[in-house]
Amino acid sequence: MQEFTADLKHRMRGVWRDAELVDPNTHNNKLATYYSWFAIPFSINERMPINVPQYLHLDQPLSKHVMRNISKFRLRAHTLKVEAAAWLEDGSCVCDQCPGEDEHVQNEVHALLFCQDHQICELRKHFSFLYTPFFEDFSAAQPFLLQQVNNQLVHDFLSQQNTIYTFSFSF
């Protein structure tokens, strides 16, 4: 039984090792997106138990509605264009909320950091305390980013204790 468990853990980690090689900014791959932006890193010690997301075991539990919204966002089971396009034959991933002619893929990071839609910008202004420690060019006058950021910075931003919990009440 111990050999079976060890083999199963090794195979499961192999799936994540493969996802590590794919950039979610260039490939529409759910596993790569989850791994790069939302996953909790494995412990180096393979005997350690796998960690579950923090929002599942808070001292003051979240409502079922909020937990569902957080899970849907993290697992790419939402209505952003990047997910809808995967299900529609002629679906477009381009954000239909941004003004102008620039074509940006409407994914999780775009919605949280780059989208220039007025309502989303107002939300970012309201929760600016979450952004300013990570993004120096974020301000109330310009509540969106203009330049791409690396996946590690996105992961760190989304790993803040309050980020996704706060936004889940608002979206």
Quick one: pLDDT band at residue 36, thresholds 50, 70, 90? confident
**pLDDT for the residue 119:** 92
Assess contact for 56 and 49: CB atoms under 8 A.
Answer: no
DSSP output for 116-160: --HHHHHHHHHTHHHHTTT-TT--SSS-S-SS---HHHHHHHHTS
Q: What are phi and psi of 37, to 5 degrees?
A: -110, -25
pLDDT computed for residue 169 by the predictor: 47
Residue scoring higher pLDDT (57 or 137): 137
Spatial separation of the C-alpha atoms in residues 34 and 27, rounded to whole Å: 12
The pLDDT value given to residue 114: 92
Judged by average pLDDT, the poorest of 35-44, 60-69, 83-92, 108-117 is 35-44
Tell me the pLDDT band of 115, cut-offs 50, 70 and 90. Answer: very high
The predicted model gives 74-102 an average pLDDT of 84
Radius of gyration for the alpha carbons in the chain, expressed in angstroms and rounded: 18
The pLDDT value given to residue 134: 87
**pLDDT the model gives residue 65:** 86
Phi, psi of 105 (to 5 degrees): -70, 130
The mean per-residue pLDDT over the stretch 21-36 comes to 82
Q: Where do the domains of the chain lie? A: 2-170
Q: What pLDDT is recorded for position 66?
A: 81
- What's residue 117's pLDDT? 92
Residue 166 above 60 pLDDT? no
Alpha carbons 110 and 132: distance in angstroms, whole number: 17
**pTM assigned to the model:** 0.74
For residue 122, the model assigns a pLDDT of: 92
Q: What is the pLDDT of residues 140-159, one digit of tens each?
A: 888 999 888 888 888 888 77
Mean pLDDT throughout 18-29?
A: 81
For range 4-22, the mean pLDDT: 80
Segment 33-42 shows an average pLDDT of 78
- Rounded to an integer, what distance in angstroms lies between the CA atom of residue 8 and that of residue 5? 5
102 contact partners, CB below 8 Å, separation of at least 6: none
